[in-house]
A and B are shown apart, each in its own frame.
Chain A
């Protein structure tokens, strides 16, 4: 009997082509639509996503089922997300969703249904080297999603296939069109899964009351008010409501720092302002995909999704991990993930704790 694979179907073209490829390779393929977020308002993308998934599976002749992980998502991802925002940080719920939901709850559920492995439409590649599973970047440099997968462990990766990791997005779409998949031209999804295309600040306003405070420049000059520190992200340009006119130049303003103790937002003018850059950061919740910390001291890192690799050195002592970048980095943001690479191998990473 052929290997039984359960594909996580999102309704998008990437998971659709993943299922298609596995079917063509002769696997025994079943699809599951994961619902991780209950809609509490009129805003609903999951229903449309499900309908798209249904049409794809019908075209491919594959069975589709839905599983609801809303409780798990809320407890293990969303509560953390809110806690981080309340603490003035900017969390990355997608990395946690992969670790806790897609590659834990969903994986276990699929195994219970008799699957040998699961598959998802991530742009990343896997291979074995001396008994260790290595996570490689996807071949499409522009779409590589290894950044979001750095929290996975050996067990999770052993049970996973990324069928489109070798392909470019363009090839994925071309193949989908060629094979008549009804979602071949569906728009790429952007943003955090549960927020979708909604306005992010508006979404946060559902959970946080405004907590206005003073806004000052890095030189200590008062330039206005802010609505609440959680509504601002370091490096953010829009939404300051002060235009460019307060400085000598007409350059835009950026969020440079948050003073949580006194509820003050600190801004700097001009994208190149030195206060927006840091060369060093400390990391918490460090995770290495191979279970072992790397022997390399010089490697590359990304501090945000789709950032170009940045040369850095790492220093590990007593559980603390310090990263020193060759070049200063714009908007190093506590709460976001820093992910390490050796060439195209994703080694692991952690949460940015602080910068200096």
Chain B
């Protein structure tokens, strides 16, 4: 299979897989147990915490492990029910793991303002500032958008939040290993991550919570994770996350230049075979390796089936539970017409893609265009 859907999920890094196998096989003790087996398991968790903390420039007691990015977002957002002020500022391009949570919080008195984005998919910090009310207690804006790849001006937004003593959260799941992510430089109070987006395992995530921020847990039970996330730890998953985070940040520059060169080459070659293509997103402030591209006149579900038959995995719109493709809400919110929306694909390269893989992708596009044109 030729896999170009790394923004959806990534394959396990071989070193991560090796570590997880070892932990799963030999270090199965309960990390809360005091015997050697439990202690050893706890060591893996604590060293993963250091690795994750180092990756984003915070201290290790500011990291909580969760059951994924969605849970990390939920932990932050559900704290609103304990707040006196219950207004949130977010953006229209957030993941459902933010927007749907906020919709569900409405019955607990939470209201929110979702600021719009411009044609490049970017939030304007002025809009955020203008949305502040005396009831605003939280801002949640993603660091990079999963469909468009547009990088958001989080440091600027966080500065506004700080000025008004509003808690600043960012969903950063798309970013680790693709751009520098530093909690201090961003100035955020909390930040969500998901291991499977950076060559780690599925079902494990991390939440950065700044030292002086007091949050209540979402999942309550035993004393694990400083009582911020109860339940016996997923030792091998957490160990995998830690190593994946370390590898992602250690190799950041190499990965970036690899992804950028694949992106440039792809854009040049696809424009050559289909001159009418439209590249969506921001010309510069863009996640490396993510290309959101429209092929006017071609239905994206047809393109997907033809590509899939040739063993090529790309993505389109927001996949639904019945396997169909809906027009992307995010593209619509940027003012993109339904026709263009329904002809849009997302290609996201990863560290396992070679230049030859990318050339195979171009070849498949070429034959797909020819087949669809000849059938019409």
Contacts and interface: CB of A to CB of B under 8 A. Distances in A.
Contacts of B371: 114
Interface string A22-40: 0000000000010100000
A50 B321 contact: yes
A269 interface: no
Nearest to A112: B375
B301 A68 contact: yes
B308 A65 contact: yes
Interface of A is mostly: mixed
B305 interface: yes
Contact of A113 (B302, B321, B325): B302
Interface string A88-111: 000000000000000000000101
B323 to A, nearest CB: 4
Interface in A44-77: 44, 46-47, 49-50, 54, 63-68
B326 interface: yes
Chain A, interface size: which category? 10 to 19
Nearest to A70: B324
A285 to B, nearest CB: 31
Contact of B322 (A35, A63, A111, A113): A35
B376 interface: yes
A81 to B, nearest CB: 22
Nearest to A32: B305
A112 B372 contact: yes
B310 to A, nearest CB: 12
Contacts of B376: 112
Contacts of A65: 301, 304-305, 308, 323
Nearest to A109: B302
B84 interface: no
Given A63-B309, A65-B308, A68-B301, A111 B375 contact: yes
A178 to B, nearest CB: 28
A180 to B, nearest CB: 23
Contacts of B322: 33, 35, 46-47, 49-50, 66
Interface in B278-316: 301-302, 304-306, 308-309
A21 to B, nearest CB: 23
Contacts of A49: 322
Interface in B321-340: 321-326
A114 B302 CA distance: 11
A136 to B, nearest CB: 31
Contact of A68 (B306, B309, B325, B375): B325
Nearest to B371: A114
Given A33-B324, A50-B323, A112-B372, 9 more contacts: A33-B322, A63-B308, A65-B304, A65-B308, A65-B323, A67-B324, A68-B326, A109-B302, A114-B375
Interface of B: 301-302, 304-306, 308-309, 321-326, 371-372, 375-376
Q: Which 3 interchain pairs have the tightest Cβ spacing?
A: A66-B323, A50-B322, A68-B324
22 contacts: A33-B323, A33-B324, A35-B324, A44-B321, A46-B322, A49-B322, A50-B321, A50-B322, A50-B323, A54-B323, A63-B308, A64-B323, A66-B301, A66-B322, A66-B323, A67-B324, A109-B302, A112-B302, A112-B372, A112-B375, A112-B376, A113-B305
